Structure 1
Amino acid sequence: MNHPPLNAPSPLAPYAARDAVSRGRRHPEPPPTYRSEFQRDRDRIIHSTAFRRLEYKTQVFVNHEGDLFRTRLTHSLEVAQIARAIARMLGLNEDLTEAIALAHDLGHTPFGHAGQDALDQCMADYGGFEHNLQSLRVVDHLEAHYAEFDGLNLTFETREGILKHCTAEVAAGLGDVGRRFVDGGQPSLEAQLNNLADEIAYNNHDVDDGLRSGFITLEQLQGITLFREAQAEVNARHPGLDEKRVRHEVIRRMINRLVTDLIESSREAIHRAAPDSLEAVRAQDRPLIRFSPRIREYNLELKGFLRQHLYRHYRVRRMTAKAARVLKALFAAYMEDPALLPPEHERKARRLAAETGEAGRARAVADYLAGMTDRFAIAEYGRLFDPKTLS
C-alpha cells in the first residue's frame, strides 16, 4: 500500500506561499526530511529561548498582578489559533501562518507597550527601539543555539511576516526582507492575515482581561456596537446567565463575527484581484486580507474604547509608569557602567562599542533589556538599587 508523505500539505490556493518556491534562508541548509520548511521554522521558534520568555512578559497587566491574565505567550498562541483557522478557509499555508503568529512578539520588551515606549525613549539618540524590528533581530541574530549560524535562520517568508511595518530608511538596511518598504508592494497573504488576526486576538482578549480585572464594566461596553449586539444575542438566548458566562459568550461571538467578516471580505477581494501566484499578491497596491468597511469601523470603535478606558485607566497608568522607571533606570546604569552587565552581555557591549561607538553599546544594552521578563527586570532593579539586596 502506498502512503502519502508524512509532511504532505493540504491543497493550497495558487496565491498561497509554498515551500518549493521559498526565497530561502539567510544561511543555506539541507532541506528537512519529514517536515516542510515552514514547519521547521515553527519548531525552531517554539524551541527558542525568546519564545519561552513570553510566558512572563506583560500583555496589559504586569505578570504578578494575577495568574489568569494574558501574557505575551498566551496572546501568541491565541493569534496562531485564529490565524490558522482563517488560513484554512482561504486556502493559505497554515504552517507559515502559524510560524509568523508564534514569532511576531519575540522581540517585545517586558511590561508591554510601556516597556517599548520607555526603551524607545532611551534609544532616541541611538536609532530608536521598535519591538517589531527587535523580533526580526531576535530570529536573525540574538538567539544562540546553532553551530553554523547566529539566530534561527528562518525562511524569508517567515521573516517577512514578522516585519509588519518599517520606515523606508530603516528598511534600506535590512536587505531583501525590507525591500517592499522601499519599492512598494505587499507581503504574502499569510503575513497580511497575521496582522489582522493579531488585532482580533488582543482587542477581544483585552476586553476579557479588562472585565476580569474590574477596570472596565459591562455597562461601559454598551456603547460599543460589537459588544452591544453580541450581548443582546446572549441575553435573548440565555436569560439570567451569570456574568462570568455572559462575558465568555459575548467575547466568543465578537471574535466569531470579526473572523467571519474577515474571511468573507478577503475572499471577495481575492476574487476581484484574481492573483494567480504569490508574486501577483506582492504586486497589489493594497492588502487583500481586509475587513468589510462596516466591520472595520466597529473594530476601530472597540480599539478606541480600550485605549481610553483600559490602557489609560489610572491603575494601568500606575503600572506602566513604574515599568518605565524600572527600564530607564536599568538602561542608564548599564550605559554608565557596562561592567554591571553579566559577562556575556558586557563583552557584547564592549565589542559593539568598539565597532560603532556609543550607539553600539546602547544597542547591546537594549538587547539585554528587551530580553528580560517582567519579574527578572523587577528583580534586577532591586539588585542594582535596593541597598538591602546585595547579591
Structure 2
Amino acid sequence: MINMYGNGDYERQNGELDDSETWRPPFVRDYGRIIHSASFRRLQGKTQVFPGHESDFFRNRLTHSLEVAQIAEGIADRLNDVYKDKLAGRKIDSRVCAAAALVHDIGHPPFGHNGERALDAKMKNYGGFEGNAQTLRILSRLEKKARYNSPVGGDDRAGLNLCNRTLAAILKYDSEIAEERSQDAKLAKGYYTSEAAIVANIKSKVLGGQNPPPKGKFKTVECAIMDIADDIAYSVYDLEDSLKAGFLTPATILATDEELLTRVAKEVTDQIEEDIGEEIDGTRVQGAFVAIFSDIFASKPTTEKGAEQERDISDFITAMRASQDLHLDSAKRTKLSSELVHEFIGGVELTINEECPALSKVKLDKATRIKVEILKQYTYLSTIYSNRVKLGEYRGTELVTDIFNALEKKNGYLLMPDDVRRQVQEAGKNDALKARHICDFVAGMTDRYAVEFWARLKSDAAESIFKPI
C-alpha cells in the first residue's frame, strides 16, 4: 500500500530536509511561516466584494482566507472520518489543506479581478498576469524568508521555502502560461514560465519520480479540498455580505426577473455542465433559492372558515418582515450561513487513487455542486455586477494602469522603493524581466496603498515626502 505522504513531500523547495522538533512537524512550520508573512498580512487591505471602509462587518481577502482555511480543515477532518476504512491509516493532513487555503488569494492584486485584468493587459507580451501564478511566484520567490544554498537560474531566492507538498496544494491549474498572447486573448490560468522549473521539481518530488502524473492533470487531494472550500466560502459568505449590505433580500431574490435567472443559469451551465452532464435552467435557479429560504416564508396552516384571506395577508406581512430581518438581524444571517456551510461540507466525496494517493479525487456530489454554483453565480451577477460596485472597480482598473504606466517609463524606477529599484536597474535591457519586477511591485499593493501611491503621482493635493514609499 502506497502512503499518502513521502520524503519528497516533506523536502523544502531549496532541497533542505526538514529537521523540525518532533512537536512541530514540517507542515505545521509551513502554516506558521504563512501566518507571519508580509504577503498574508497584506490581504487585510484587499477587497473581497465590498470595500472595507464601508463597514467593519464586510469580509476582506484576509478574513475570507481564514474562513476558507477553517472550511478546508473541516472537509479534511470529515473525509478522514467517513472514509477511514478505505484510507486505511493514510489520513489527509488537514494542516496542509488549511495552509493552502490561507495563501490561495495572496497573488490577487489591488482591486480584485479588475486589477488582475489591468495588470494582464500590461503584461501580455511578457507572460501575462494571473492571480494563481502570482501566488506561486510570491511563495517560491518574492517572500524574503530563505534562499537556495547555491544560485539556481540566476535567482537564488526561495521565497518562504515551503515543503513541496504545501506548494503542490496551491497548484490549481496544471498549465504553463504562454510568454506572448494576442491582445484579444483571454486571461490564461496556470503558472509563469519563470516558475516552470519549480513546478517540475514539485511534481517530481510529490509523485516520487512519476512525471508526467498518471492518468490526468496534476492536482493534489489537498488542492482539490482547498478549491472546494473556496467555492463554499465564496458562495455562502458573499451572499451573507450582500444580505447585510441590503443589496439582496430573500424577497428580491425570489422575485428575480427571467432575464437574470437565465443569465445565472447559463453561467452555471458553462461552469459545471461537463461535470454534471446536464443543462441548468432558470427554474432550477429559482428552485434552489426557494429551498434555501423556505423556512423564512413558511406559513402556518389554518382550518378556520373565512380566515383564508386574513391568513394570506398575515402571511405576506410576516414574510416581508422575515425577509427584511436577514438584513437587520445578524443572528439569523449567521444561522443561515452556518447551515449552508455544514450542508455543503457534507456533500464532499472522496475517490482514493491507490496508484498515487496524492492525486486522489475530491468533489462535491451533483446536487450540492449545482447549489453552490447557483449561489456563486447569482451573487456575482446581481451584486458584483451592480453599477454601485462596478464604479469602484472601474476606478481601481484606472489606478492600477496609471501606476504601471508611470513606473515603466524611462526613469520610472526612481519612483519605487530601494529594493525594487535595484531589481529594475539590474534587469538592464531585459524588458520582460523589468516589466515583471514592476508587476510584482504593483500586484503586492493593498487597495489603500495603491490609492495613496496614485495620489502622489496624480493628485492636486500636496503629498508628504516624509511618508515612506
* Corresponding residue for residue 154 of structure 1: 162
Bigger mean CA deviation after superposition, 18-27 or 374-383: 18-27
Contact 1:18 1:93 in 2 (8 A): no
Question: What SS does the corresponding residue of 1:125 show, helix, strand or coil?
Answer: helix
Q: How far off its partner does 1:235 sit?
A: 5.3
Amino acid at match of 2:118: A
Q: How far off its partner does 1:253 sit?
A: 1.8
| Residue 48 (structure 1) aligned to one of 17, 33, 37 | 37
| Residue 374 (structure 1) aligned to one of 447, 456, 459 | 447
Change in Cα spacing, 1:327 to 1:77, as seen in structure 2 (3 Å) is: same
TM-score by length of 2: 0.72
Contact 2:174 2:219 in 1 (8 A): no
Alignment of 1:342-381 (within 5 A): 342-354=417-429, 357-381=430-454
Alignment of 1:279-358 (within 5 A): 279-282=356-359, 288-336=361-409, 337-354=412-429, 357-358=430-431
Change in Cα spacing, 1:280 to 1:350, as seen in structure 2 (3 Å) is: same
Contact 1:234 1:250 in 2 (8 A): no
Q: How far off its partner does 1:23 sit?
A: 5.5
Contact 1:224 1:302 in 2 (8 A): no
Q: In the TM superposition, what whole-angstrom CA distance separates every residue of 1:316-339 from its partner, at most 9, and x where no partner exists? A: 110110000000000000001221
TM-score by length of 1: 0.85
Q: How far off its partner does 1:387 sit?
A: 2.9
Change in Cα spacing, 1:319 to 1:16, as seen in structure 2 (3 Å) is: farther
Amino acid at match of 1:109: P
Q: How far off its partner does 1:291 sit?
A: 1.3
Contact 1:84 1:97 in 2 (8 A): yes
1:24 is the counterpart of 2:24 = no
In structure 1, runs of 5+ residues without a counterpart are 1-13
Bigger mean CA deviation after superposition, 340-349 or 317-326: 340-349
User: C-alpha separation between the residues in 1 aligned to 2:6 and 2:56?
Assistant: 39
Contact 1:62 1:111 in 2 (8 A): no
Alignment of 1:1-391 (within 5 A): 17-18=4-5, 20=7, 22=9, 24-27=11-14, 28-33=16-21, 34-91=23-80, 92-146=92-146, 150-168=158-176, 173=196, 174-177=199-202, 184-222=216-254, 224-233=286-295, 236=298, 242-243=325-326, 244=329, 245-262=331-348, 266-267=349-350, 270=351, 274-276=352-354, 279-282=356-359, 288-336=361-409, 337-354=412-429, 357-390=430-463, 391=465
In structure 2, runs of 5+ residues without a counterpart are 81-91, 149-156, 179-190, 255-284, 301-317
User: C-alpha separation between the residues in 1 aligned to 2:165 and 2:18?
Assistant: 17
Bigger mean CA deviation after superposition, 158-167 or 141-150: 141-150
Amino acid at match of 2:457: L
Amino acid at match of 1:22: D
Alpha-carbon RMSD across the aligned residues, in angstroms, is: 2.6
Q: How far off its partner does 1:30 sit?
A: 4.0
Aligned pair count? 363
